[in-house]
Amino acid sequence: MFDEDQWSQLLRGFIEEGRDLAKQAEEYLLVLDQAPDDQQAINGLFRAMHTLKGSAGLFTLTPLVNFTHHLENLLMAVRDGQRQLSPPLVSLMLRCLDEISSMLELIDPDSGELPVDEAHQGQLLDALAEQTGAPRLIATQDIDDDCVSRGSLERCTTCDAAGAWHISLRFHPDLLRNGFDPASFVRYLGRLGEILHLETLAEQMPDLAEMDPESCYLGLEIALCSSASKAEIEDVFEFIHDFCTLRILPPDSELDDYIQLIQDLPETDERIGRILIASGLLTEHELAEGLSLQGDAQDGLKSPLGSVLVEAGMVPPKAVNAALAKQQSAREKAPRESSHIRVAANKLDELINLVGELVISAAGAQLQAQLQGSTDCIESSQTVNQHVEAIREAALKLRMIEIGDTFNRFHRVVRDVSQQLGKQIRLDIHGADTDLDRSVIDKLADPLTHLVRNAIDHGIESAEQRLAAGKAAEGRLSLNAYHDSGMIVIEVEDDGRGLNTERIREKAIERGLLDPQTSLSEADTHMLIFAAGFSTADAVSDLSGRGVGMDVVRSAIDALRGSIEIESRPGLGCTFRIRLPLTLAIIDGFLVGIGDEHFVIPLELVTECLELDVTLDGRYGYLNLRGKPLPCIDLAAHFELPSHIHGRRNILVVSLGRQQAGLIVDRLHGELQTVIKPLGLLFQHLQGISGSTILGSGQIALILDIASLLRQLQQHIESEFRSPQPRPDLMGS
C-alpha cells in the first residue's frame, strides 16, 4: 500500500512518537517512585508501554515488541494489584526505559532494521525476573508474535462464535490520508486471540465516478475469541481512534446491547441480519429465508427486513424495533477532528525565515513611501506593516513551547544523582507553563543540567550535615521560570550551604586566575566559578572536579544572548538566575547611529534615552544619573568609529538584570522590528556583537550584545580598583 518513501516517513513518525511515549513512561515511573499507589500514574504507565508495543508491532519491530512485552506483563500485575513497585524495581524499570530509548535511536528509518544487544537486554530481563521473584519464562528472541494474549504466552483455542467478542469497526474516510493501513490493525488484533469471523463491508462505497482513491470506505465485523479485556481490545485501535468508529460487545452481551448496536450502525437489511446472527437470535438459514420472503413481496416494494423477521416469528419484535428506524436513511458519521498536528521543526524555521524577509521588505516599502511623500502610499504601507507585525507575532508563537517538558526531565537527573551521592533531595518546579522559543529551549538543556548537578553535588549537604545544621534531612532543589521585562528568567535554587567565598578566592589564586592583592566584591568573587578550568573540588569524580561544567554554562548562556547572576546566602542556599531573550529569530529593536554606521539594541533592555552635552575621556566613564553614578560606554570610541557629531550626543540607559549602564551614541532613530541574521564564521569572535540585520534601506546594521558589553565594562571597573591611579571623577550630566 505504501511506497518506500511513505513507509520511511511513517517509521520516522513512529520513532518520534516512541520518544514521547518513553518520556511519558519515565515521568509516570518517577511519580510512582514517590506514590506507588497512584492509580492514574499506573494506568498511564501501562498505557504508554502498551501503545509503544502496539506501534512497534505495526512496523514489525520484533525486538522492541518482545522487550516491551516483559515490562507490560509486570505493569499488568501492578495494575491488577498483584505486585507493588518498590524503589529498586523502579530503578530497574528506568534502566529498561533507557534501553527502549536506545532501541528507538537505533532504528534505521530507511530499512526498518533494528540491531540490538541481546546480551545486555538479557541481563536487564534477568534482573527484572529476579526483582519480581518470577523466573524468566522465555528468551526475548523466542517470543512468537502470534502468542501474545493478556500477558500469557498460550495461544487461544477455537471457541463457539456465541462466546466470542463482537467488534464492529467503521473506518473514516481520512484514515488512508493519514498513513494508516486497516489490515495492520486486524493483524495486530490477532495477537490477542483468534479471529473466528471477519467480514469486510463496503456498503458506503460510492459510484465509481464519485470515488476518491485516497478515501477509505471500509467497515469490518469481527468475531474474536480472546481472554483479553475490553480495554486491551480498544488499545489495539488507539492510534486511529480519531479515524474510526469502534463498537465492542463482550461475549455475554444482552439483547439490549445488540439493539443499541443496530441503532448506531447505518447499515442495510442484510448487515442488520448479520448482527442479529452475532447476537444468537438468528441463524444463517433464517436470515436467508427472511431475505427470500422480503424479495417475494407482491407489490414489488420491499418491506423492512425487521418486519419480515417479526412476522415470520423468527425474532422478537424488541430486537428489530431499532433497526426499522435505521432503514429509513443510511448515514455515515463525520470523522472527529484532531486538535493537534505534527509539523517538522525545519518547516517552522523556514516559515520564520520567510516572515523575517517579509518584515525587511515591508520596512523597505514604508521607507520608499515616506521618501515619495504620498499620503495614500504611507497609509497603505502602515496598514501592511500592521498586518506583517501580526503575522510575525503569530509565526513566533508557533515556535513557542512550554518549558515544563525541559524541567520535568530533571526529576530523573535529581533522582539518579542524589541516589549516587546518598542524599535525600526533592525537586520542586514552578512556572512550567512559561513559553519559550523552541530554539532557545533546545540549547538550554545542557547548562541547566550542569547547574542542577552542581547544586546536588556542591550545594546541598548530606542528611547528617543538614540535621546537624538544624535543617530538614531532605534537601530542596527548585526550578522556576517567569517572564520579566520582555525576557524569560530561569532560576535554579537550592537550600544548601551556599557558595564558600573564601574557598573560591583561594582556588582562584592557586590557579592563577586572581592576583592575591586584588580586592573583589563577594558577587564578583562568585562569578569566578565560571572561569575555564575552575573547580573547588579536591578530587575528580563522575560528577565534578574537572572544571568544565560552569564554563560550559557561561558559554551556552552567552551564545543565547543571555546573562547569568548568582545570589548566595551562606548556610541557606544559592540561586543561579539566567535571563534570556524569548526568541532568537525576530526581536523588537531600537536603532541608533554612530557616524555612518547603524546599530540595533534589543528594545526590552532600553529603559530611557537622554541628551548628553559632555564628552567622555576615552571609552569608559561615569555620569551622574539622578544622584547615582552610571557607568557609560562611548560606542564610537569602543568600536573605533569616527563620530560626526561634536557637542550634544545621546545616551541610552540599558538594564540587564541588576546591571545598568549608559551607551553613548550619535543619533536615535527609534524602534523597529529586527530580523536577526547570524554572523559568519569569520566574525563570530567579535566581542559586543551578537548578529546583524538588514534595514529597509538595504544597509547592514549590527546587533549589539549588551551582556558582552557590560562584562567588558565590568572588567574595566575592576581594573580601576586594582590600579594605583585614582578613579575618574563623576561628570555632571
Q: Write the CATH number for 715.
A: 2.30.30.40
Distance CA 608, CA 601 (A): 12
Q: Which amino acid is at 357?
A: E
* Claim to verify: residue 406 and residue 365 sit in the same structural domain: no
Q: Which long-range contacts (CB under 8 A, 24 or more apart) does 462-466 make?
A: 462/421, 462/422, 462/423, 463/423, 463/424
In a domain, 22, yes or no: yes
Residue 719 in this model has a pLDDT that exceeds 90:
no
523 plus 595 within the same structural domain? no
Question: Within this chain, do residues 195 and 286 fall inside the same structural domain, yes or no?
Answer: yes
Residues 692 and 544 grouped into a single domain? no
Whether residue 332 lies inside any domain: the answer is no
Is the dihedral angle over the CA atoms 52, 58, 59, 63 positive or is it negative? Answer: positive
What's the number of domains the chain is made of?
Answer: 5
Minimum mean pLDDT among 428-437, 570-579, 638-647: which range? 638-647
Opening angle at CA 197, ends 195 and 201, nearest 5:
120
Could you read off the pLDDT of 524-543 as tens digits, one per residue?
Answer: 788 888 877 677 665 545 55
pLDDT tens digits, residue range 423-481?
A: 989 999 999 888 888 878 888 888 898 899 888 988 899 999 999 989 999 999 999 99
pLDDT-based confidence at 637, cuts 50/70/90?
confident
pLDDT given at position 715: 76
Which amino acid, residue 215?
Answer: S
- CATH code at position 234: 3.30.70.260
Mean pLDDT of the chain: 76
| pLDDT value of residue 481 | 92
User: Is residue 728, in this structure, part of any structural domain at all?
Assistant: no
Identify the domain boundary among 555, 581, 607: 581
Residues 394 and 442 in one domain: no
pLDDT higher than 50, residue 727: no
Q: Which residue has the higher pLDDT, 317 or 676?
A: 676
* Residues 592, 562 within the same domain: no
Q: Which of 728, 522, 698, 542 is nearest to 629 (CA)?
A: 728
d(CA 23, CA 407): 12
Q: Provide the pLDDT for residue 340.
A: 60
551 and 421 in one domain?
yes
Among the ranges given (301-315, 665-679, 695-709), the one the predictor scored with the smallest mean pLDDT: 301-315
Question: For position 394, what pLDDT does the model report?
Answer: 83
**Residue 335 included in any domain:** no
Which structural domain range is residue 133 located in? Answer: 4-143
Q: Are residues 314 and 208 part of one domain? A: yes
Check pLDDT > 80 for residue 419.
yes
Q: What is the CATH number of the domain that holds 523?
A: 3.30.565.10
Inter-residue long-range contacts of 710-715, CB under 8 Å, 24+ positions, other chains counted: 710/563, 710/656, 710/659, 710/661, 712/633, 712/687, 712/688, 713/620, 713/631, 713/633, 713/661, 714/524, 714/659
Three cell numbers at 58? Answer: 505495526
Whether 660 and 594 map to the same domain: the answer is: yes
Q: Specify the pTM.
A: 0.59
* Confidence at residue 494, expressed as pLDDT on a 0 to 100 scale: 92
Identify whether residues 630 and 710 lie together within a single domain: yes
Residues 6 or more apart whose Cβ sits within 8 Å of residue 81: none
* 23 domain-assigned: yes
Asked if residue 733 is part of any domain, the answer here is no
pLDDT at 429: 92
Quick one: DSSP state of residue 523?
H
Q: Is the pLDDT of residue 134 over 60?
A: no
Same domain, 63 and 40: yes
Q: Predicted confidence band at 490 (pLDDT cuts at 50, 70, 90)?
A: very high
Structural domain includes residue 152: no
* Last residue of one domain, picked from the residues 80, 108, 143: 143
pLDDT over 90 at 303, yes or no: no
Last residue of some domain: 581, 611, 628?
A: 581
- On the question of pLDDT at 640 being above 60, the answer is yes
600 lies in the same domain as 570: no
Residue 506 phi, psi (nearest 5):
-60, -45
4: left (phi over 0), alpha (psi -120 to 50) or beta: alpha
- The answer, yes or no, to whether residue 287 has pLDDT greater than 70, is no
The mean per-residue pLDDT over the stretch 294-298 comes to 52
Residue 252 resides in a domain? yes
| pLDDT tens digits, 62-115 | 888 888 888 887 887 787 777 888 888 888 888 899 999 999 998 888 888 888
